[in-house]
A and B are shown apart, each in its own frame.
Chain A
């Protein structure tokens, strides 16, 4: 247990550093960079025209479909991760059974993939 925590202590240090370093840099930049008082400097850029309407429109449902399919298959991949480290474990019977199980698991999801493909969930909507 302490081994796991040990290996993540540097991660924590890097995490803190990763947030502190940019913020500190930005503070320095704020001090040394010039400030101009030009008008409309802070307006949103849109090729030199005045923006019309809000940028934050409703999502196209397309992106949502991609996201759902992604969640399904990414979870599938997550399930496979623990399997890879143990499937060649105890004895021949164990190995055979675990491989068969995983092949079934992947097959079921592959059918799901084909279904999604057929339904056009992976098709970019024109």
Chain B
């Protein structure tokens, strides 16, 4: 028992916690693989086809491993006209931005001998702001990829990406702000404990949830907002000139962003690792609650992908600026009013 106590004490040291926290990278990479598999399988169900079913048994469990091996052993081609450092930097920045997002996300609490320990690599009092800031770095990553490739499709994709992301950062920021107004804190831990006290914020501000959900989907660039890599228009968009593991990084960064995005939805609006309202935790550990909710959010994202066609780029910016932005302002006022009444 003392050893465990000692381990917890050691983890109090930020250096040790940072290095040990790299496990999170592994876990999140693994969940990205699981998500890709889930997406292909679930989309297959929606589209009445089997999905991966050859490698690794009937359910194609090892398909992603096979894909990874393929990516690893493919030739890495950098076009001769490309701006090589910028071209190489794009996916790396995207991946790093996903890692940095994952640092500040708390994944639950574990109880040990009466005291509760937070499962997070680091805690900070501005984690909501921090995560939003590092998430925005991926705009630059995609633009680096598009500009560095010196390919017309890539560049069009990069332009689209800028126009789209700019339109959605503001509503996204305002939605996070509304949550922070209710919780009176920018700390994820505080936000979750506030939801345990009051109610899930999805019930307190449904409008904010919708704004955040749509803006997040747009920020992640998933269908119906995948204009930057619309295959029938721009081949593979900003990643047209990428191959091998370079492309793999970009691909993984996308899914890592999606997973961390799902975590954010859960933390900000679905009560984080707390149990169901009225029913409580039902003897299920908080971490599992968290994972379960993230799973549900991811499934909904895949479901949306299967059910909707792609929106046109001008309609996307219109939606961001002319619909979501006013709504997010209304929601902010609503959240402030509710917060004043509640306190």
Q: Which residues of A contact B (CB under 8 A)?
A: 4, 6-15, 17-19, 21-23, 25-26, 28-30, 32-36, 41-47, 51, 54-57, 59-60, 62-63, 66-67, 69-70, 73-74, 77, 80-81, 84-85, 87-88, 95, 99, 102-103, 106, 110, 113, 117, 122, 124
Measured CA separation A10–B326 after assembly (Å): 37
* Interface of B: prevailing SS: helix
Q: Which residues of A contact B17 (CB under 8 A)?
A: 9-10
Q: Which residues of B contact A106 (CB under 8 A)?
A: 329, 332-333
B19, B147, B151, B343: which contacts A45 (Cβ < 8 A)?
B151
Interface size on B, as a range, is 35 or more
A4, A22, A51, A62: which contacts B91 (Cβ < 8 A)?
A22
Inter-chain contact total with CB atoms closer than 8 Å: 198
A32 and B73: CB pair below 8 A? yes
B177 and A44: CB pair below 8 A? no
Measured CA separation A23–B76 after assembly (Å): 13
Q: Which residues of A contact B50 (CB under 8 A)?
A: none
B38 adjacent to chain A (CB < 8 Å): no
Closest chain A residue to B172 by CB distance? A77
Measured CA separation A44–B245 after assembly (Å): 19
Q: Which of B14, B79, B184 has the most CB of A within 10 A?
A: B14
Closest chain A residue to B185 by CB distance? A85
Q: Which residues of B contact A (CB under 8 A)?
A: 14-15, 17-19, 21-22, 25, 72-81, 88, 91-92, 95-96, 99-100, 102-104, 121-124, 126, 129, 147, 149-155, 159, 162-163, 166-167, 169-170, 173-174, 177, 180-181, 184-186, 235, 240-241, 244-246, 249, 313-314, 317-318, 321-322, 325-326, 329, 332-333, 336, 339-340, 343
A9 nearest CB across to chain B (Å): 4
A14 and B74: CB pair below 8 A? no
A25, A55, A63: which contacts B162 (Cβ < 8 A)?
A63
- Given A32-B72, A45-B240; A110-B329 close (CB under 8 Å): yes
Q: Which residues of B contact A13 (CB under 8 A)?
A: 15, 18-19, 21-22
Q: Which residues of A contact B170 (CB under 8 A)?
A: 70, 73-74, 77
Q: Which residues of B contact A88 (CB under 8 A)?
A: 184, 339-340, 343
Measured CA separation A112–B267 after assembly (Å): 33
